[in-house]
Amino acid sequence: MYHSNTQQMIDYWRSKRGPQGLPPRNAIDPTEFARLAPQSFILGRAASGLYPIRLVGGLIAELHGRDLRGLNFLALADDAGRRPLHASIEVCRRRPEPMILRADGQTEQASLPLEILLAPLAGTSGSPERLLGLYQPLALVSSLGELPVRQLAVRSICGVGPANEESHQIRLATLDGRRVA
């Protein structure tokens, strides 16, 4: 069960699907989800492991205390979550379904639970070259005070929809206080 805003964006993504099962990137119109635009972002893919943030909504920029455009999305993840996130993004690109990342946005003193949606978009060649994203806070943003989110502590990653039902969900665990995949 996902937050209603996350489900709304998944439904929007599914309503825009093209013949290959992916929405073409030019079919995405932020005015059609204007209420969620401040929580939305678009990732590119320069190469495997390099996912520059191309567009970012105001809420996300405020949470991080800076403009994230051009930054590699993986750089936001903590060390333990970076490799599973990279692998999951590549799987998400191969399967025409979104994925949900559960993470804690961590400041120096507090954390905010987040549900982060990543959904692949087809480019002009039909291959997935972009990802539509959504940050959904699961608690009051004010709990962070004025401190910016420095990193995302990845807790779990799972695929959404029939294309991912048979895949294994990537979960993180701890061993002697260290996060391990």
Q: Say which DSSP state 33 is in.
A: G
**54, 44 Cβ separation under 8 angstroms:** yes
Distance of CA 43 to the CA centre of its chain: 9
Distance of CA 20 to the CA centre of its chain: 22
Cβ of 92: how many Cβ atoms within 10 Å?
A: 22
In this prediction the pTM is 0.87
pLDDT of the residue at 54: 97
Identify the domain containing residue 19 by its residue range: 4-180
pLDDT of the residue at 161: 75
User: What does pLDDT average to in each consecutive run of 10 residues of the chain (181 residues)?
Assistant: 94 91 93 97 95 97 96 97 96 91 96 97 88 97 93 95 52 60 55
Distance of CA 177 to the CA centre of its chain: 26
Lookup result for tokens 């608690």:
139
What token pair was written down for 96?
């025409």
Check which CATH number belongs to the domain holding 39 and give it: 3.30.450.20
Domains held by the chain: number: 1
pLDDT of the residue at 18: 81
